[in-house]
Structure 1
Amino acid sequence: MEEHHIQLPSGQPVTEAYIHKSDPKLLELFGYHWKEERDWKARALWLEQSEASRAQRAEVAQALYSYNAAHGASASALCHIEQLKDGALAVIGGQQAGLWSGPLMVLHKAVTIIQSAASARQRLGQPVVPIFWIAGEDHDWEEANHAYLVTSEPKLRKLELQRPKGARTSVSRSLLRPGQWQQALAELAAVLPDSPHKPELLDRLHGLTADAATLTDMFASMLAWLFGSQGLIVMDADDPAIRRLESPMFEQMIRSNESLYDAYGAAQQRLMELGYPIQAEQADNSANLFHFASAAGASAAGDRLLLQRSGDRFEDRKGQVSYTREELLMLAKQEPEQLSNNVLTRPLMQDYLFPVLATVLGPGEIAYWAATGSAFKQLGMEMPIVVPRRSFTLIDAGTAKHMEKYKLSVHTVLDHYEQYRNEWLDRQEGLQPMDQPLEQMQRELERMYEPVLAKLTGYGADMVALGETNRRKVVEQLEYLKGRLHLERSRRHEEQLRQMDRVQLQLCPLGKPQERVLNVVQLWNQWGLHWLEQLLQLPYDEDCSHRIVYI
């Protein structure tokens, strides 16, 4: 496997400053830094000293064992759970569940978690296990329910899983109707081009969805299978067994709600003072906790409602629920499954459940985690080491061949593909571009119409309107002619343009990096899965540049 690195800005000033250590004042908001060798040892020591403040390892391990066994965990993953029970540290990262595992960056995050855990084991000389935190408590179905694939035309096709009827509840509580997976697989089979890998791919997905009641179930089973050889532990933040273990931390968050709110606000104010934008701004008087409203039926789940403080009460904006602090504390103690974290309290809960040596985060996540450091301190905790997710663009032999043929660099495809495509057309022999003479003609016609329209005012408003309509239709015909000429030029070079467009769809679909859009089944169908194993074997280092990988 050949690879080379390019610089691909994250678009997040906080993240760039953290990665490159360019602002010492910003680094103070994080505490540790993954490039500092001493920080790994310091964090491990702190975890050892603060062991008693976290959830009981045996109880966490039991919940993980049950969940992983139910989702097809490998023997390696179950062994890692035993190690966690016996004192291992954890490298953890996560994402919301996605259809057929979601965009490729989800797998890239899993690869980073696995490699970072392995690196930490060597660095510290003690067990460190990889954990993938599935944010199944999130309720944004539209972020989770789709997958993008490149069809044979080539075109980008979006496959979607319809939201189950009922409340706007978490993805993990949204039960799919009978036959929904079969329908989704039939649509996938119809869209995927035929390939040697397609039958095995579809057969595997049928197996992974056979007992999946929710999108999260499928997602967990798929990750457990894809990374079984690496012993990746999967967990769902909305797993009832995990939720029951979170009860003490929910109580602490409720008791300290005002001070936590102030801590988040102070950190965000500090970020603004340093000249950085706020990635996840908290709403006024936000409790930074969600509540699941009651719903009819034993298996039904209610809306996931964001709580706010109003005096000494905790309420949602629509007034569906209202609790005193004591009532909410009682709920946290007796029915913690009715509560859920938001993006600002999730880091605290993660650190309460697990001995988190390091957390693997994407660019946007690093930006909003910068606002959580003060909240950690408020509860007597420390933010774990933040490790940036590794970033890849994968290029197969066919795509590389066409890139060489048309002299298309990765930067060209990512930054100005349409301009390059048009300039390539202009350079081809045969029909030359007509935009300039047609645009000149349009300017001349506009100039010639001006005195005519001015004289029409003496004939009345109706004739002026008729003249304007006549002018507009002439201009429209020129635009139509220009469009048809573009179409004819493109038709003369249809095959070459199709090849270039396929390169663009493979590397930069929707104008975004490949990893943020394309789904794993796209690559699986084209190339099999050997590339995933190759990614895991790439040398692990602290270089955060974007990797172009030829497979």
Structure 2
Amino acid sequence: MKMESYRLPSAQPLAEAYSDRTDSRLDALFGYHPADPGDWHKRLAALARPNPLRAPAERTADALRAYNRRFNASPQTEAALNLLAEGAPVVVGGQQAVLWTGPMLVIHKALSIVQTAKWASQTLRRPVVPVFWIAGEDHDWDEASHTYIPHHEEGIRKLEVARPAGARTSVSRTALTESKRKEMLAELVASLPDSEHKPQLLDRLCGLVSRCGTLTELCAGMLGMLFGSEGLVLLDSDDPALRRVEGPMFRQLIARNDELEAAYGSASKQVSELGYKPQADAAAGGANLFLFRPVGASEAERTLLFKRDGAFTDKRGVHHWTNGQLLEIAESEPELLSNNVLTRPLMQEYLFPVLSTVLGPGEIAYWAQTGEAFRLFGMEMPIVTPRMGFTLIEPAAAKHMDLFGLSFDDVLHRFDDHKSAWLKQQDRFGIEMSFAAAKLRFEELYRPLLNMAADVERGLAALGESNLQRILGQIQYMHDKTEQAFRQTQMTSVRRFDAIAGCIAPLGKPQERAVNMLHFWNRYGPGWMEPLLAAPFEPGIGHRIIYL
């Protein structure tokens, strides 16, 4: 197996500057850095100090034990939960629940959490528990409801499930009927090509689909299949049992909400002053909390809260809650409350002694806005570890890259230029040059005739110019048809080029942001992740290219 390191660019300058340590000014925003071995010992020592704003470890572990026994039962996970109950530090990260686990980066995130926890355990010589935070409380169905599978006819096929009718509520509260789940499975069966591993894979998925009533449960079950033996503990942020543990922290977030808003605003200003654009919207008057507002006998809509005239309200100001009412909800019905991206880090720190959090580029950017909020509650931001990333290059794609002399970087950044240049080299007829010369020669011959016609009758000038453009257009039309016919003779090479792009950059995106992992499981079997698990690990290593 061949492996290379690569710095995959992101659209987050702040995250790249943090990961590469090219801007020392960011140290004040984050505090720790994973590349500094001493910071791991410092963070562990900080966690050993008493923290009154921390959930009892036993209560958190009990809530998670019930959830994991349903979707992630394994001896390794049970052992990890026992360590949690004893107060073991954790490495935590997560992602929203997505159909069939969504793009590969979700698997990369889970793998990064597992590998970071293993590395930290060895470095610190004490157990560190990996925890995956499934953001089931999120309500963006459009993001959660689809994934992509490579397809022999379509290049890549989008699999999607429509949102059931009802209130705009969390993904974890959006139930899928048995018939809808069967449709999802049938679509997957039709999309995956036949392989020696397909029957066993579908048998496992069929059993999972039959007992998972939501996308969150399906995502949890699949992560359990992949990582249960690694001791990865799963968490659904919208789990009612966990919400009951979180109640005291919600009371703090409500009671000190004005201070919290000021903390986010101040940190966002610092980010701007350093020349970066704040990733998260710390809106004036925003409470940075959601409330599940009843909209029927059995439904509730996830409503973002704002502050107005000494009370809390929805965005349009139609519904109102007093401070006392929200505090009572936090006390007696905490399952009606929900975090946003800025308060979720604080809740994570309340639930666990977090040694490190594993984040993607966008998450790193908005975590830069949370440092002052941590300090407001007497907390520290944990070590922010950038997640690992992988591109898996299949044998056929690697062979064709060698044939055309393409590097990984060429495919990502100069692919169309290389493809066009290669095809031009195969053109023994000189099609483009011949037609260009013909158009130039024709215009040289025809232009004097147009000038003569204009001298005879001035009104013929515009007509002549129009006539010239029509004839040149016809020559271009013939050029395009000839070029198309030539490309047909080169279709084998064109298909090979397209297969390279489909492997490395499907939909014009990095592989990890498009392709679902079931493609690899179906093709290479349940051991498809072994090359990823075998990759050498160090915090913040960046992207790996693995040639299968």
TM-score by length of 2: 0.93
SS at match of 1:535: helix
SS at match of 1:163: coil
The answer on whether the counterparts of 1:91 and 1:117 sit within 8 Å (CA) in structure 2 is yes
Over 3 Å counting, the alpha-carbon distance change for 1:414 and 1:43 in structure 2 is: same
The answer on whether the counterparts of 2:100 and 2:219 sit within 8 Å (CA) in structure 1 is yes
* Identity percentage of aligned residues: 46
Counterpart in the other structure of 1:38: 38
The answer to whether residue 424 in structure 2 is matched with residue 426 in structure 1 is: yes
- Whole-Å separation in 1 of the counterparts to 2:527 and 2:483: 41
- Whole-Å separation in 2 of the counterparts to 1:227 and 1:453: 80
Over 3 Å counting, the alpha-carbon distance change for 1:248 and 1:457 in structure 2 is: farther
- In the TM superposition, residue 273 of structure 1 has moved relative to its aligned partner by 1.0
Which residue of 527, 532, 535 maps to 1:535? 532
The answer on whether the counterparts of 1:167 and 1:303 sit within 8 Å (CA) in structure 2 is yes
- Whole-Å separation in 2 of the counterparts to 1:274 and 1:89: 32
Query: Partner letter of residue 536 of structure 1?
Result: L
The answer on whether the counterparts of 1:509 and 1:517 sit within 8 Å (CA) in structure 2 is yes
Over 3 Å counting, the alpha-carbon distance change for 1:483 and 1:189 in structure 2 is: farther
- Whole-Å separation in 2 of the counterparts to 1:340 and 1:483: 58
SS at match of 1:4: strand
- Whole-Å separation in 2 of the counterparts to 1:247 and 1:436: 76
The answer on whether the counterparts of 1:140 and 1:171 sit within 8 Å (CA) in structure 2 is yes
- Whole-Å separation in 1 of the counterparts to 2:188 and 2:458: 62
**Which 10-residue stretch deviates more, 161-170 or 315-324?**
315-324
The answer to whether residue 180 in structure 2 is matched with residue 183 in structure 1 is: no
- In the TM superposition, residue 202 of structure 1 has moved relative to its aligned partner by 1.6
Counterpart in the other structure of 1:333: 331
The answer on whether the counterparts of 1:154 and 1:502 sit within 8 Å (CA) in structure 2 is no
Query: Partner letter of residue 370 of structure 1?
Result: A
- Whole-Å separation in 2 of the counterparts to 1:389 and 1:357: 15
- In the TM superposition, residue 122 of structure 1 has moved relative to its aligned partner by 1.3
SS at match of 1:80: helix
Query: Partner letter of residue 437 of structure 1?
Result: F
Which residue of 516, 521, 530 maps to 2:518? 521
Over 3 Å counting, the alpha-carbon distance change for 1:69 and 1:487 in structure 2 is: same
- Whole-Å separation in 2 of the counterparts to 1:268 and 1:483: 53
Taking the TM superposition and a 5 Å limit, the aligned residue runs for 1:54-453 are: 54-153=54-153, 155-298=155-298, 300=299, 302-434=300-432, 437-438=435-436, 441=439
Over 3 Å counting, the alpha-carbon distance change for 1:458 and 1:304 in structure 2 is: same
- In the TM superposition, residue 72 of structure 1 has moved relative to its aligned partner by 3.6
Query: Partner letter of residue 414 of structure 1?
Result: L
The answer to whether residue 513 in structure 2 is matched with residue 496 in structure 1 is: no
Over 3 Å counting, the alpha-carbon distance change for 1:155 and 1:453 in structure 2 is: farther
- Whole-Å separation in 2 of the counterparts to 1:479 and 1:333: 74
- In the TM superposition, residue 182 of structure 1 has moved relative to its aligned partner by 1.2
- In the TM superposition, residue 350 of structure 1 has moved relative to its aligned partner by 0.6
Which residue of 492, 505, 510 maps to 1:508? 505
- Whole-Å separation in 2 of the counterparts to 1:358 and 1:231: 17
SS at match of 1:133: strand
Over 3 Å counting, the alpha-carbon distance change for 1:450 and 1:165 in structure 2 is: farther
**Structure 1 unaligned residues grouped into runs of 5+:** none
Over 3 Å counting, the alpha-carbon distance change for 1:278 and 1:467 in structure 2 is: farther
SS at match of 2:486: helix
- In the TM superposition, residue 123 of structure 1 has moved relative to its aligned partner by 1.6
- Whole-Å separation in 2 of the counterparts to 1:509 and 1:15: 24
Deviations 1:183-228 (A, max 9, x none): 1111112122222222222222112211111000000000011112
Deviations 1:267-300 (A, max 9, x none): 11111111112111222211111111213233x3
- In the TM superposition, residue 8 of structure 1 has moved relative to its aligned partner by 2.1
Over 3 Å counting, the alpha-carbon distance change for 1:430 and 1:281 in structure 2 is: same
**Structure 2 unaligned residues grouped into runs of 5+:** none
- In the TM superposition, residue 458 of structure 1 has moved relative to its aligned partner by 5.7
**Which 10-residue stretch deviates more, 263-272 or 521-530?**
521-530
- In the TM superposition, residue 528 of structure 1 has moved relative to its aligned partner by 1.9
**Which 10-residue stretch deviates more, 26-35 or 330-339?**
330-339
SS at match of 1:35: coil
SS at match of 2:92: strand
The answer on whether the counterparts of 1:96 and 1:138 sit within 8 Å (CA) in structure 2 is yes
- In the TM superposition, residue 517 of structure 1 has moved relative to its aligned partner by 0.8
SS at match of 1:303: strand
Over 3 Å counting, the alpha-carbon distance change for 1:358 and 1:454 in structure 2 is: farther
- Whole-Å separation in 2 of the counterparts to 1:307 and 1:471: 65
Over 3 Å counting, the alpha-carbon distance change for 1:285 and 1:492 in structure 2 is: same
- Whole-Å separation in 1 of the counterparts to 2:291 and 2:457: 68
- In the TM superposition, residue 445 of structure 1 has moved relative to its aligned partner by 6.5
**Which 10-residue stretch deviates more, 33-42 or 428-437?**
428-437
SS at match of 1:394: strand
- In the TM superposition, residue 58 of structure 1 has moved relative to its aligned partner by 1.2
**Which 10-residue stretch deviates more, 109-118 or 441-450?**
441-450
- Whole-Å separation in 1 of the counterparts to 2:227 and 2:455: 75
SS at match of 2:143: helix
The answer to whether residue 15 in structure 2 is matched with residue 15 in structure 1 is: yes
CA RMSD between the two structures: 2.5
The answer on whether the counterparts of 1:289 and 1:307 sit within 8 Å (CA) in structure 2 is yes
- Whole-Å separation in 1 of the counterparts to 2:440 and 2:212: 61
Which residue of 526, 545, 550 maps to 2:547? 550
Query: Partner letter of residue 505 of structure 1?
Result: G
- Whole-Å separation in 1 of the counterparts to 2:240 and 2:479: 62
**Which 10-residue stretch deviates more, 352-361 or 258-267?**
258-267
The answer on whether the counterparts of 1:19 and 1:544 sit within 8 Å (CA) in structure 2 is no
Deviations 1:153-179 (A, max 9, x none): 361211111111111211111111231
- Whole-Å separation in 2 of the counterparts to 1:252 and 1:494: 64
- Whole-Å separation in 2 of the counterparts to 1:120 and 1:357: 9
Query: Partner letter of residue 520 of structure 2?
Result: L
- In the TM superposition, residue 473 of structure 1 has moved relative to its aligned partner by 6.1
**Which 10-residue stretch deviates more, 196-205 or 157-166?**
196-205
SS at match of 1:28: helix
The answer on whether the counterparts of 1:73 and 1:225 sit within 8 Å (CA) in structure 2 is no
The answer on whether the counterparts of 2:6 and 2:543 sit within 8 Å (CA) in structure 1 is yes
Query: Partner letter of residue 259 of structure 1?
Result: E
The answer on whether the counterparts of 1:456 and 1:467 sit within 8 Å (CA) in structure 2 is no
- In the TM superposition, residue 74 of structure 1 has moved relative to its aligned partner by 1.2
**Which 10-residue stretch deviates more, 281-290 or 228-237?**
281-290
Query: Partner letter of residue 67 of structure 2?
Result: Y
The answer on whether the counterparts of 1:154 and 1:498 sit within 8 Å (CA) in structure 2 is no
